[in-house]
Structure 1
């Protein structure tokens, strides 16, 4: 991810209720995005993904932490707003999973999604994720989903 790519992503704006995923235009967001991988269709930046702790939603000190699982990686990603809701999700998520599998020998991938995001949850279930648990963070309910890999 280049600085220019990160700035483009910071300026992406999702329509309500998905505006929950809009990023703040600040140095912290920029620095975090620089740790991510860009996804391109030709020259066009169409999305991004991250793995590890960057992909986890902060639960809060008093609420514990994600259940640890051997051979597992946390996944976070986003698609360019203009491309969401148009049937590209399955191919997009499958591409990211294939990229991760090429880099790491894993048995499971875990992701976290806001419970209100039924569109995304339906997609993740089609890709093979199942809900493991849920939690509240900042008064928002999140689902933690896992996909077992072959």
Structure 2
């Protein structure tokens, strides 16, 4: 991910209730500060989204986060987008399992992850940038298909 990609992501605006995913200064991206953590996903040479990866344990669990460009959400791209990102991660990190935290209200994302073989592990209340939210931690052993 380049600095220009990060600036583009920070301009993305999602419709409510997904506007909680708008990137504000508290959650700003700095790919130069953490090389190898953020990766841009392109579609026909245009930024379509990005992934953030972070190894969680020595046992091989890889936690990820992602964003799909707002105009591409709700259009049926979720499964292929997540699958492509995790295939990329498998080639790079050889993870044994994958974890993602999903807002409990985000039925679209929960459905995508369940279709890809993720299972809920636990729910947890956390504070994220001043907002309280309920998250569902989902895990998949092995690379989802």
TM-score scaled by length of structure 2 = 0.86
Aligned to 1:29: 28
Corresponding residue to 2:137 among 119, 134, 144: 144
Whole-angstrom CA distance in 2 between matches of 1:14 and 1:137: 21
Question: Which residue number in structure 1 is paired with residue 9 of structure 2?
Answer: 9
Residues 41 and 143 of structure 1: CA distance in aligned 2, closer, same or farther (over 3 Å): same
1:113 to 102, 107, 113: 102
Q: Could you state the TM-score of these two structures normalised by the residue count of structure 1?
A: 0.83
**Most deviating of 137-146 and 108-117:** 137-146
Q: Structure 2: how far apart are the matches of 1:20 and 1:80?
A: 14
Aligned residues: 136
Change over 3 Å in CA distance of 1:28–1:137 after alignment to 2:
closer
Of Structure 1 and Structure 2, the greater helix share is in: 1
Which of 73, 87, 101 is residue 98 of structure 1 equivalent to? 87
Structure 1 runs not aligned, ≥5 long: 54-65
User: What's the CA shift for 1:28?
Assistant: 6.3
Distance in 2 (CA, whole Å) between partners of 1:69 and 1:136 is 25
The residue matched to 1:70 in structure 2 has which SS? coil
Question: Which runs of 4 or more aligned residues in structure 1 lie more than 6 Å from their structure 2 counterparts after TM superposition?
Answer: none
Please give the alpha-carbon distance, in whole angstroms, between the structure 2 residues aligned to 1:125 and 1:11. 30
Contact kept, 8 Å, 1:3 with 1:34, in 2: the verdict is no
| Structure 2 Cα separation of the partners of residues 130 and 40 of structure 1 | 28
8 Å contact from structure 1 (residues 6, 34) kept in 2: no
The alignment's C-alpha RMSD in Å is 2.1
Structure with the higher strand share, 1 or 2: 2
CA distance in 1, matches of 2:9, 2:77: 18
